[in-house]
Structure 1
Amino acid sequence: MGNDSAIGRLLKKALENLRLRTSRPDALIQLAILGTLAGLMTGLVIVSFRLLIEVVQISFLPYGDPENYEGLPLHLRVLLPIAGALLIAALYKLLAKKDSTVGVSHVMERLSYHQGYLGIRSFLLQYLGGAMAIISGQSLGREGPAIHLGAATSSLVGQQLGLPNNTIRTLVACGTAAAIGASFNTPLAGVIFALEVVMMEYSLASFLPVILSAVSATAVTRAVFGTEVVFSVPNFQLTNLLELPYVMFLGVVTGIAAFVFIYLTRLSALAGKKLPTWIKFTLAGCITGLLAIVAPQIMGIGYDTVNNTLVNNIGLTLLLIIFAAKLIATACSIGLGLPAGLIGPTFVIGASLGGIMGLMAQPIFPELSSSPGMYALIGMAAMMGATLQAPLAALTAVFELTSNPNIILPGMLAIVTAQLTASQLFGQRSIYRMLMQLKGLDYRHEPMVQALRRVGVANVMNRNIHRSTNIISNEKAKELVQQNKEWIVIEKDEPIAILPTSDLSNYLQDEKEEEVDEINLMEIPAKRLQVSCIDLRATADSAREYFIQEGVEALCISSTIGPDIIRVYGILTKEKFKSSYDI
């Protein structure tokens, strides 16, 4: 028993030291270990999610092909998405609370407004709902659910360890990168996506653990699924640099398509805002089912359709149909709230559009135009970049997905042109930010706020304190002065004020000749500061908000270690906070 209790105390002390250490933005070794752990756990979650989907798909789709929705009879192509939508609605009825949002926009909302805290209920909702959506052939992808699952897994690890909020935010980025890396077999794209789309910042403290997380998660999935790239394509390249103006034109057209896609998603979200969940989901399933009559290629993730487009196996007419049907079905499904992703569908839409442009160029410029597959590849990158407003993530993803470095030059040009068209010509933001704005939210990423969120309040607190009740004996007062602490935290059940020890010392000196038995620290002449308590896990940005909202002059950094037991670790004065951060 003695050894067990000693080990327990050591573990408790080590965990407390970890919490205090990771409140600092330069705790790189600790963050690197935590990032690796988050990546391994996310990798296991993504492997189980993908296996669940593929095992079920293989069991009922023709020839055991997990993407062969085209081989289903006509009536099943119509009924399967509808039945799946109803099952998802039943799941939401069982698990969802008032706010049933899942996916990337939910992760961004939790980062912006809730310090990156994600719960187990939304995890289960996304895991089961995302699997149902993809299995039932909805026009959606698995990357959105994967990002939520990775972010939630990492966030829950941080919560269980009681880590500070700045570390939990970093772990959410780790989980996001790990999820993208594990889903696409693209670790670098995962890192860029996490920092460019979700965190919207690049810093050394977040960069290193995010890289390790993406690497470890990708290693897990490669151990299970192998190392092959998602899209096996010929070594495409531009035939002639004179094609670059046409590549820019493709970027403009793709930017317009991205605007239409985001606009339709917004209209669908507004139309379904007041509808019951089961009606919204059923409507989305009906739209996909009806469009699948003429274009069954829109069902499911659609990677087989992208592969066929890249190797020129689909004609112009069918590409036009797939492009229009996939755009409409995905926009309606996302807008009406089905719990799956849109990155995969943007690849299908972009590849179809690029393939169309490539086929149209051949009779006009027969000797100059490259393969339509090359334009399909460029279209994939441009559509993802313009829709997500994430140019670097899009370019990196397509490069890693195809292992074709020839995409970089034309891809950069098309992505920038497409993004400028969507954002500047049509005033469109990222589709994720648009979905947040429809809920009355915005993704706050001011530089000062970002800097404060990278630091735990424990890193800036003053630990040179002593705790005391408000009424003390003269001997106790002398003892407090002799301990040479800077501040005295005055408590009456909980901290109510802080007092400079020097003021108590001055009082004792002044009252030397008339020594009293008891001293009330709340009544002696002194510069007392009223305080409010803030959790040890809070960030410096939370401290800033406390100072503004509570109107106090100091904060006690504390944690609850038992029923009605509060441990005070240090204090932070408003004056010190302002001088440290020049605000």
Structure 2
Amino acid sequence: MSRQRVTDGERGTPRWRRLIETEKLRLSTGRAPVVMAVLGMLTGLMAGAVVIAFRMLYESGQLALLPGGLEDFEGLPGWQRVVLAVAGAGIIGLYMQHFARRDPRTGIAFVIERTAYHEAMLPLRNAIHQFITGSLAIASGHSVGREGPSVHMGATAGSQLGQWLGLPHNSLRTLVACGTAAAIGASFKTPLAGVAFAMEVVVMEYTIAGFLPVMIAAVTATAMAHLVFGSDIAFSIPALTIQGIHELPLVILLGLLLGGLAAAFIRSLRYASGLLSDWPPVLRTMVGGLVVGVLALFVPQIMGIGYDTVAAALAGEIGAGLLLAIVAAKLIATAAVLGLGVPGGLVGPTLIMGATAGGAVGMLAEQMLSPAFGGPALYALLGMGAMMGATLRAPLAALTAMLELTGNPGIIMPGMLAIAAGTLSARELFRTDSVYHLAMGERGLDPRRNPMLQAASRLGILQLVDEDCARLPASTDAAGLDALLAEPPRWILDGDGDIPTRVCDAETVAANRAAGRPVLAGAARLTPIDERVSLREAIERLRGEHGDALLVVRNDADGADRWAGVVTREAIQSAYLD
């Protein structure tokens, strides 16, 4: 009698198929650096193309709507600002109500949640919603940024690439990080900040294996942005630095104040998110648009992405009174419009609030301090980093963004101090969490709660598959069992149909036969699971099914399911604890 082992038929498997299976196994263990580098480059190309298309779309809308070109909302009469904001919000609300009704969630918080709890499986439809509504929001002057939509679309590009190729789910996490870094790089032309943001905010881990493809993706997308939009840095300013250590207390004070501002912004955003929750989406978004439009009657600088306002603050072209007015109006407008359902980014608004608040502090300090003072522009720049770091809990991303956006290495030391003070202030003095994790925590989710499960997400189940299996023959007479047990496999499987449902080790089968018991007495129930799953998914599946072993199933090129081997609870525990 012949024994049907997992390895039967390998001789007839095409060479390319065997190569794919080998690479999937290496990806499952995180030991395929060349393959991941290529995938990182492909993700960078895809994410870069999407972000460039997104930017060209909303810029085309602004060029058609604004009298003076990009970001010239100040050139509109006051009533037109109100109409534009409300009309844009209404169109977005109608779209969300009729086309995105099934799952309207978008943005960076959605990417974090899907990465942490759904094995980085990002649906394409949500990214399409983000592309359309994000473009409408920015073109119609809402107080939102472009980085949130960009990150969502870039991360989805990486996830979709991995899903299309059928890669192990632990690889999807890296590709999502690649797409995130590529999106930040293409949006801001800041590849290093993109890498730091992806690692700090989205996947929340630093690994050498993960760094390389993410770096390649960020550089690829940034190079594409340079080709299309030029290689100029975002804010061209003179070299800035503190004039001595006597300024360090002021830098710390700035960080503490910006930490408080970040806490106020986060709490305002969460408060606005709970307002009018029973209203239809179109009415909620229109209320948000009305808030933006009314505030823009008095402070038009709050409309749009607002990098022109940042440039003016860095150049010292705005007085302290107007800077403070922009801070207050920007905080209220951004919290209202995002909280009431207009999809957009919040990193850009934090940079504007930080720059204007820091510039105001610098101007006040300039009147009180001696000439040996870094100047308001320095404190506007430090305010940007402190506000971003405190709001996102991403200190390294904030620091590298300050450096790359201005090409100003003199801000590294004071920037580190301001960001540290701001982050500690928001966390310890004002007791606020990251804006993204606070929103998730309200729904009982916190990916940082179980770091061991997060670590298990980095490993695939393929490395634990025991292929030394055989099916119990249909005829279990003495001759058949003798043939099976002559050179016994480690595991013997049984069950109706093509997919076995029970498993028993060969020693137990032999002991059962010798004792006259049913040969599969004491067999464990097998739970089928896809070969692409991560170790974390396997653990959660066993917990949910209260099972002892998993049957790993592989989908062949012809679409048929074929079992690949067995993974036991003991094998998972060994890998998990090691």
| TM-score w.r.t. length of structure 1 | 0.93
Q: Could you say which residue in structure 2 is the equivalent of 1:566?
A: 561
Instruction: Give 5+ residue unaligned stretches, structure 1.
Output: 1-5, 512-521
**Structure 2 counterpart SS, 1:489:** strand
Residue 560 of structure 1: how far off its partner (Å)? 4.3
Which string of whole-angstrom CA distances, capped at 9 and with x for unpartnered residues, describes residues 320-376 of structure 1? 111111111111122122111011111110000011001101111142322211110
1:277 aligns with 2:281: yes
1:23 corresponds to which residue?
Answer: 28
Q: Percent identity at matched positions?
A: 42
AA matched with 1:367: P
Paired residues of 1:295 and 1:322 also in contact (CA < 8 A): yes
- Aligned partner of 2:4 in structure 1 is none
* Residue in 1 that maps onto 2:48: 43
| Contact kept? 1:200, 1:445, Cα under 8 Å | no
Distance 1:467 1:31 in 2: 36
- Aligned pairs for 1:309-320 (under 5 A) are 309-320=313-324
Alpha-carbon distance between aligned partners in 2 of 1:567 and 1:444, rounded to the nearest angstrom: 36
Q: Deviation string for 1:145-175 (max 9, x for gaps)?
A: 0000001111111111111111111111111
8 A contact 2:71–2:308 mirrored in 1: yes
Query: How many angstroms apart in 2 are the aligned matches of 1:89 and 1:406?
Result: 45
Judge conservation of contact 1:251–1:382 (CA < 8 Å) in 2: yes
Q: Aligned in 2, Cα 1:223/1:476: closer, same or farther, shift over 3 Å?
A: farther
Which residue is equivalent to 1:296?
A: 300
Separation in 2, partners of 1:206, 1:471: 50
Deviation for aligned residue 1:18: 3.0
2:572 aligns with one of 569, 573, 577: 577
CA contact (8 A) 1:358 1:369 kept: no
Q: CA deviation at 1:558?
A: 0.9
The answer to which of 408-417 and 331-340 deviates more is: 331-340
Q: 1:536 aligns with which of 510, 525, 531?
A: 531
Partner of 2:7: none
Shift of 1:509: 7.2
Map 1:355-366; keep pairs closer than 5 Å: 355-366=359-370
Equivalent pair of 1:134/1:142 in contact (CA under 8 Å): yes
Q: Is the 8 A contact 1:465 1:570 kept in 2?
A: yes
Match of 1:335 in 2: 339
The offset of 1:554, in angstroms, is 0.8
Deviation at 1:576, TM superposition (A): 2.3
* 1:524 shift after superposition: 1.5
- For structure 2, the 5+ residue unaligned runs are 1-10
**Do the aligned partners of residues 525 and 177 (structure 1) sit closer, same or farther apart at CA in structure 2, a change above 3 Å counting?**
closer
My pick for the range that moved more, 384-393 or 490-499, is 490-499
CA distance in 2, matches of 1:165, 1:460: 15
Query: Do residues 424 (structure 1) and 428 (structure 2) align?
Result: yes
SS at match of 1:530: strand
1:266 paired residue among 270, 274, 277 = 270
Q: CA deviation at 1:8?
A: 11
1:358-437 equivalences under 5 Å are 358-437=362-441
Q: CA deviation at 1:559?
A: 3.2
Are residues 469 and 224 of structure 1, via their aligned partners in 2, closer, same or farther at CA, if it must alter by over 3 Å? farther
The whole-number CA distance in structure 1 between the counterparts of 2:372 and 2:221 is: 42
2:236 match: 232
Partner residue of 2:5? none
Q: Which residue is equivalent to 2:94?
A: 90
**Aligned pair in 2 of structure 1 residues 41, 369: CA closer, same or farther (>3 Å)?**
same
Distance 1:502 1:153 in 2: 49
Q: Give the letter aligned to residue 402 of structure 1.
A: T
| Contact in 2 for aligned 1:112/1:444 (Cα 8 Å) | no
Contact 1:531–1:552, Cα closer than 8 Å, also in 2: yes
CA contact (8 A) 1:268 1:332 kept: yes
Instruction: State the one-letter code of the partner of 2:41.
Output: T
Q: Distance in 2 between matches of 1:360 and 1:339?
A: 36
The alignment covers a number of residue pairs equal to 567
Residue by residue, what CA displacement relative to the aligned partner does 1:455-480 show, whole Å, maximum 9, x if unpaired? 00111121222234665455544443
Residues 19-72 of structure 1, C-alpha deviations (whole Å, 9 max, x = no match): 332111222222222111111111111111111111221223223x21111111
Q: Give the TM-score taking structure 2 as reference length.
A: 0.93
2: CA distance, partners of 1:35 / 1:272: 42
Q: Identify if the C-alpha distance between structure 1 residues 474 and 94 changes in structure 2 by more than 3 Å, giving closer, same or farther.
A: farther
1:500 aligns to 2:495 (yes or no): no
Indicate yes or no: 2:39 matched with 1:34. Answer: yes
Q: Is 1:351–2:355 an aligned residue pair?
A: yes
Distance (whole Å) between structure 1 residues aligned to residue 334 and residue 254 of structure 2: 21
Inter-partner Cα distance in structure 2 for 1:532 and 1:128: 41
Is residue 469–residue 492 contact of structure 1 (8 Å, CA) maintained in 2? no
8 A contact 1:196–1:390 mirrored in 2: yes
Match of 1:174 among 166, 174, 178: 178
Q: Secondary structure of the residue that 2:232 maps to in structure 1?
A: coil
CA contact (8 A) 1:95 1:121 kept: no
- For residues 388-417 of structure 1, the C-alpha deviation after alignment (integer angstroms, 9 at most, x for no partner) is 011111011111111101111111111111
Residue in structure 1 matched with residue 221 of structure 2 by the alignment:
217
Worse-superposed segment, 276-285 or 560-569: 560-569
**Distance in 1 (alpha carbons) for counterparts of 2:105 and 2:296:** 26
1:462-481, aligned counterparts within 5 Å? 462-468=466-472, 471-472=475-476, 474-481=478-485
Distance 1:582 1:308 in 2: 55
Aligned to 2:8: none
Give the partner amino acid of 2:143.
S
Report SS of the residue matched to 1:200: coil
User: Aligned Cα RMSD in Å?
Assistant: 2.2
Letter aligned with residue 193 of structure 1: F
Q: CA deviation at 1:240?
A: 2.6
Change (3 A) 1:39 1:273: same
Distance 1:249 1:527, change over 3 A: same
Q: Residues 200-228 of structure 1, C-alpha deviation per residue, up to 9 Å, x if partnerless?
A: 11112211111111111111111211211
Give distance in 2, aligned partners of 1:440 and 1:507: 48
In structure 2, C-alpha distance between the alignment counterparts of 1:479 and 1:118, rounded to whole Å = 49
Q: Whole-Å Cα distance in 2 between the matches of residues 228 and 283 of structure 1?
A: 38
Per the alignment, residue 519 of structure 1 pairs with none
Distance 1:479 1:102 in 2: 58
Shift in Å, 1:507: 6.1
- Name the residue aligned to 2:458: 454
- Gap change, CA 1:469 and 1:173, over 3 Å in 2: farther
Residue matched to 1:518:
none
Greater shift after overlay, 448-457 or 468-477?
468-477
Please name the residue that 2:117 is paired with: 113
Q: Give the one of 257, 277, 280 matched to 1:253.
A: 257
Letter in 2 for 1:52: L
The 1-side partners of 2:191 and 2:421 are apart by: 26
